């Protein structure tokens, strides 16, 4: 099984190297603009602990919105289902940074994976803390999930987004006007920008995602969340993890997944695999062009899908 998956990963890496349509690297965060679109990496960790790596699987990149999965898990640990009074659980059908629904929906973001929702989650994680402590707690949680103490925030990326993240500041201000942000906008967006600037490799991300393939269990340390919570986080990833392209991602790939504008995607096949891919060029929806294609190839080759009995 492990050898077979490694063979599939090797084939995908070779095929991706031939692709000329690689999408466009995100430039709206200046710190991300200089990353080469030539990169491609992939890590597949099986439920049996087997690991298949390909391409730049061990090179760290900016995880950006993938951090929203771990921040959501942490916030649910703090406030449980009360979180859903402040954030919805519906796909938005809009871009990740859209403000349009917030007025009609009284400052309650559609879901925790669009930027507005993740900013509310950051506000929850900030409660009782200074921003530095809240980020420290999240980093420690991610290190624990990945069983890897080397994971850090890239301060240059955090600074770059702090200087240019006007839309996120606008979203936070707008929600604060509705009473759905409790801390100062500067502190909350500070936490949010730093969580997005965490650097991880595909291998580290796939390791951090193992609890979502194993009904809430982290293999080295045991239970992280209940099986029900893991299932629900997976459901949100499937329905909202790729913003207005979530339906297409479910159609093409059929796995819960979360993308980031750094070009990474974390995908989970419960009971089977935790997968991370990275290629910095993005499609029109802001999701990795080759990362999506690579996952589609992997799904075809393995039969892995939450909608299939074949896997």
Binding site for ligand DON (CB under 6 A): 64-65, 96-97, 115, 161, 168, 196, 259-261, 286-287
Indicate if 121 belongs to the active site: no
Beta bridge partners of 266: 258, 276
Indicate if 288 belongs to the active site: no
DSSP 259-305: E-TTSEEEEEETTTEEEEEE-SEE-TTSSBHHHHHHHHHHHHHH---
- Exactly one of 62, 65, 92, 201 is catalytic; name it: 65
Cβ 195 to ligand DON shortest distance, Å: 9
Cα 57 to Cα 16: distance, rounded to the nearest angstrom: 14
Cβ 284 to ligand DON shortest distance, Å: 12
> Which run of H or of E encompasses 203?
helix 202-208
- Exactly one of 13, 44, 124, 192 is catalytic; name it: 192
Residue 265 or 306: the one with the smaller Cβ distance to ligand DON is 265
Cβ 206 to ligand DON shortest distance, Å: 18
Indicate if 261 belongs to the active site: yes
Residue 40 or 113: the one with the smaller Cβ distance to ligand DON is 113
The DSSP call for residue 90 is S
- Exactly one of 13, 261, 269, 277 is catalytic; name it: 261
Cβ 295 to ligand DON shortest distance, Å: 14
Residue 125 or 259: the one with the smaller Cβ distance to ligand DON is 259
Indicate if 192 belongs to the active site: yes
100 — alpha (psi -120 to 50), left (phi > 0) or beta?
alpha
- Exactly one of 120, 243, 259, 274 is catalytic; name it: 243
Q: Residue with CB nearest ligand DON?
A: 65
Residue 50 or 101: the one with the smaller Cβ distance to ligand DON is 101
Cα 58 to Cα 203: distance, rounded to the nearest angstrom: 6
Residue 61 or 304: the one with the smaller Cβ distance to ligand DON is 61
- For 7-14, the CB contacts below 8 A with 24+ separation are 8/52, 8/297, 8/298, 8/301, 8/302, 9/42, 9/44, 9/52, 9/53, 9/54, 9/298, 10/54, 11/297, 11/301, 12/42, 12/54, 12/294, 12/297, 12/298, 12/301, 13/40, 13/42, 13/54, 13/55
Cβ 222 to ligand DON shortest distance, Å: 30
Any idea which residues carry the catalytic annotation? 65, 68, 192, 243, 261
């Amino acid at each position: 099984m492990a050898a077979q998956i490694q063979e599939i990963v090797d084939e995908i890496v070779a095929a991706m190297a031939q692709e000329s349509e690689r999408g466009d690297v995100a430039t709206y965060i200046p710190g991300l603009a200089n990353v080469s679109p030539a990169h491609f990496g992939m890590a597949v960790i099986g439920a049996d602990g087997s690991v298949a790596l390909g391409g730049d699987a061990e090179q760290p990149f900016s995880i950006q919105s993938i951090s929203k999965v771990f921040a959501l898990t942490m916030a649910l640990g703090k406030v449980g289902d009360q979180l859903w009074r402040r954030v919805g659980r519906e796909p938005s059908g809009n871009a990740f940074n859209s403000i349009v629904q917030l007025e009609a929906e009284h400052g309650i973001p559609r879901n925790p994976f669009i930027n507005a929702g993740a900013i509310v989650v950051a506000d929850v994680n900030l409660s009782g803390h200074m921003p530095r402590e809240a980020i420290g707690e999240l980093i420690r949680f991610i290190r624990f999930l990945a069983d890897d103490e080397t994971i850090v925030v890239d301060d240059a990326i955090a600074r770059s987004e702090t200087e240019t993240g006007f839309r996120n500041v606008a979203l936070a201000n707008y929600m604060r006007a509705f009473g759905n942000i409790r801390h100062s906008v500067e502190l909350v967006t500070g936490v949010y920008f730093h969580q997005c600037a965490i650097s991880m490799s595909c291998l580290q991300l796939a390791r951090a995602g193992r609890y979502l393939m194993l009904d809430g269990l982290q293999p080295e340390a045991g239970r992280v969340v209940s099986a029900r919570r893991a299932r629900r986080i997976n459901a949100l990833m499937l329905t909202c993890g790729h913003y207005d392209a979530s339906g297409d991602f479910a159609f093409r790939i059929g796995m819960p997944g979360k993308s980031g504008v750094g070009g990474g995607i974390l995908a989970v096949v419960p009971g089977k695999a935790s997968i991370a891919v990275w290629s910095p060029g993005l499609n029109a929806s802001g999701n990795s062009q080759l990362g999506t294609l690579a996952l589609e190839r992997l799904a075809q080759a393995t039969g892995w899908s939450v909608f299939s009995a074949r896997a």
